[in-house]
Amino acid sequence: MADRIEFPNGVFSRFLNGVHMFWFVLALCVYLALTLVATYLVHQLPRRPVSESPDWGTLEDTRIPTVGGGSLEVWKVTPNSPSRGTVVFAHGWSRNRDRMVPRARLLGRMGFTTVMHSARDHGKSTPKRWMQAARFAEDIEAVLDWVKEPVILYGHSAGAGGAIIAAHNKQNQVKLLILEGCYPHTRRALFFLYTSFNKAFGLLLGPMVLLWMSLIYGKMIDAQSPGNLAKQISMPVLLIHGEFDEKFPLSMARELLGYFKPGQASLFIGKGSGHSDSPDAPGYEDAVQNFVNSHWKNRDTKG
């Protein structure tokens, strides 16, 4: 019978601990790598452009420069009658300028010049890695520089996040602000968005994805959150939010409303609406028309 091999005291337990530590470190490295890849992908995906062209007024289809040497595709629609002023529209994540056509049509009927652009890495605008609300804002500001006159600014979803940044940076130019499907805090909104997309992804990878974003963007992600900027702007604001918004729940809009000065902002709730279809809700057109007509002084401009 072969002699039994005996290990010196503690050697075997140290060996097992070493094996356990190896697998723990390996699993941690795999998790970190996976979340880093996920962080990159959530900046790049998805892209779901729509197709709907303006069918009113005189259409100018052009390209304008933006930061970093890029360019944006832009529609400018001038009404057939003298223009009351200009409204700039900013679409949300994954979409393009066509997404804002139904919203712009209403303002066009009200006599405004309407301007719609595709953000970088959307539509046929210049590709750009790592797009997020601050870069949406850079593109909005490029449009405002091109327009060169006071405007009403209307943003939807990520475009709303970019719009409030641009409004904060250009308060002398942005006279009225309309935010549809917006949120108060960027981190919380993104976490909710990830979990609504896929609960397992949101719970398992979401917190680390947000930590990677914090390392990439620093304090900017909090400093430029809509709830923080709401305290620093003075123009009248209309919030528009779907009653059953599946991406950013209605409670977020109510919370954001509380960050503005008393009487500065109002909230229209699209009854029965989700994240993107509030313009189809009863009362939407009246809410937008009443807000604009109450606060916008007609200007002697043709837009």
| Interval 204-225: pLDDT, tens | 999 999 999 988 888 888 999 9
Q: Mean pLDDT in the chain?
A: 92
Question: What per-residue confidence (pLDDT) applies to 301?
Answer: 43
For residue 212, what is the enclosing H or E element? helix 206-217
Least confident range from 54-58, 282-286, 297-301: namely 297-301
Residues near 122 by Cβ (< 8 Å), separated by ≥ 6? Answer: 47, 49, 91, 94, 95, 96, 131
For residue 203 the two structure tokens come to: 């719970």
The model carries a pTM of 0.89
Percent of the chain with pLDDT over 70: 93
**C-alpha dihedral, 29 to 35 to 206 to 22, nearest 10°:** -10
pLDDT above 70 (res 298): no
Burial of 53 (0-12, 13-18, 19+ CB in 10 A): exposed
Does residue 299 surpass a pLDDT of 60? no
Task: State the Cα–Cα distance between residues 242 and 277, nearest whole angstrom.
Answer: 7
Residue 66 near residue 112, CB atoms below 8 Å? no
For domain 46-185+225-295, which CATH number applies: 3.40.1190.20, 1.10.645.10, 1.10.357.10, 3.40.50.1820? 3.40.50.1820
Strand order in the sheet with 71-78: 58-65, 71-78, 113-117, 86-90, 151-156, 174-180, 237-242, 265-270
Find, among 190, 191, 140, the residue nearest to 162 by Cα.
140
What phi and psi values does residue 268 have, to the nearest 5 degrees?
-105, 130
pLDDT in tens, 100-118: 999 999 999 999 999 999 9
Residue the block writes with tokens 């917006």? 182
Q: What average pLDDT does range 19-43 have in this prediction?
A: 87
Give the torsion sign (CA, 193, 197, 203, 208). negative
* pLDDT at position 178: 98
Q: Which of 114-123, 141-150, 188-197, 276-285 has the lowest mean pLDDT?
A: 188-197
CA-closest candidate to residue 274, choices 253, 243, 251, 252: 243
Average pLDDT score over residue span 151-163: 98
Q: How far apart are the first and last CA of the chain?
A: 99
Instruction: Classify residue 49 by burial, with Cβ atoms within 10 Å: 0-12, 13-18, 19+.
Output: middle
What residue type is 65 in one-letter code? P
Task: Say whether pLDDT at 20 is over 80.
Answer: no
Q: Is the pLDDT of residue 76 over 50?
A: yes
Residue 45: the pLDDT is: 81
pLDDT at 219: 82
Q: What are phi and psi of 150, to 5 degrees?
A: -60, 145
Model pLDDT, residue 302: 42
